[in-house]
Chain A
Amino acid sequence: MTTLFTRARAIRQSNTWIYSTMLFSALISLTASLVLSIDAVELARDPTADLSCNINSVVSCGAVGVSWQAQLLGFPNAFLGLIAEPVVITIAVAALGGVRFPRWFMIAAQTVYTIGLIFAYWLFYQAIVNIGALCPWCLLVTLSTTVVWVSLTHVNIRDDYLPMPRAWRSWAREAIANDIDLLVVIAWLLVLALIIVTRYGSALFA
């Protein structure tokens, strides 16, 4: 039991585990982005959806689909997923195949993906607070983006790549060695689930 536990802890720090998690989540994120992109194109193509409230509409009455939040850069946000996730998939596959990326490369990946994570959470916040509608595919993007970011951060802390003060770095490595990151991620995802359930519970389960 104890040895099994110790072995599981060791596996959690291995390249295979970290990059497999990254690959799996990035594939989910890419799939969700593809579905959302197709939806966005369909929505743009259907002119009748603009003049009534369709029961089968993904976003109610088209008001949300044309909201500025849905197209922050002038095109559907989901397109960003189609651009970014294949890069993550490539990194994960290459690393699983034994490629070791230079430090500057991993710092760049961390920086760009952190911006992506902030964007994903901004959208989550907008969906809950300002738009008031949830779509399952968008939630899947939030979830998988979180997992990809966590695995990327995990590997960069483990390899001591992040440009932070020395005290922070040793603290972060200590935290990862003690599986604190795992606990924080699980707790964080549960907090998100709690937010969704308290806000939309009556609509979801009534």
Chain B
Amino acid sequence: MGTKTGNRHTAAQKAVASARAGQRGHRTIMIIGGAIIVALIAAIAISVITAMNDGDKSGADGPLVVPATATADGGLAVGNGPVDVDIYLDYMCPYCGKFEAANHADIQRLIDDGTATVNLHPLAFLDKASQGTEYSTRAANAVATVADKDPGHVLNFNTALFENQPEENSEGLDDAKIAEVAASVGVPQSVTDTFADRTFVPWVTQSNDAAFENGITGTPTVKINGVVTEVDLYTAGPLYEAVTAAAGTTK
């Protein structure tokens, strides 16, 4: 009888002990799991803070510097013909690449023969399509820099950027590659070295916003004397004809 009570006693003790062990085990698991969760939250916080500090380096908060050849509404003027041709583009936009490939010879001709003044409006709304590297802004800043310091090469640089156009939603060309493209069309190193200063980023941002406030809904969009043209933008010819026709009425 005595042994029976003893057995029951130890069984109860064992049950209590194992319950306690279970609770201790659970507490250990919670502590380890909690530590991992806290570490992850800390890592997320650090990444967010780093990303926010990176944002400061983008140059968007710098003073507004307007390129020498800029028009009041955010274009970069090339040539001095009577017809105003405003081209709204984004260097990441694949359709702008198609437009450029079809029309760059015609555009050059319109400038060379004094028919048109071409205003390039490099926009940056496709920054969302370069995996956070803001390719559109960086390319637009480079073009604005060339327009400011070496305006004679801006049109060729524009063409060369589209010839080397990165795939949409890739990281885009890095700053060194953009400088290389500029050098390939004759932009001097003294100018390409200043791309990284991001001097004209505030101007790009302002021009981008101004374009969309003025009713531009996408790229490429081309205005002839202030009116959005409806001609086929992806084959050579129609744009040239529309501009020369406008020149007939302008003169």
Contact = CB atoms under 8 A, between A and B. Distances in A.
A12 to B, nearest CB: 13
B115 interface: no
A53 B169 contact: no
A114 B37 CA distance: 25
Q: Does more than half of chain B's interface fall in helix, strand or loop, or is it mixed?
A: helix
Interface centre among B54, B58, B129, B170 (most CB of A within 10 A): B129
A197 B47 contact: yes
Interface residues of B, number: 46
B219 interface: yes
Q: Does more than half of chain A's interface fall in helix, strand or loop, or is it mixed?
A: helix
A46 to B, nearest CB: 11
B14 interface: no
Given A187-B36, A190-B37, A55 B47 contact: no
Nearest to A49: B218
Interface residues of A, number: 35
A112 interface: no
Interface string B192-224: 000000000000000000001000111111000
Interface of A: 51-57, 60-61, 63-64, 131-133, 178-180, 183-184, 186-187, 190-191, 193-194, 197-206
Interface of B: 25-26, 29-30, 33-34, 36-37, 40-41, 43-44, 47-48, 50-52, 54-55, 58, 90, 92-96, 125-129, 131-134, 168-170, 212, 216-221, 234
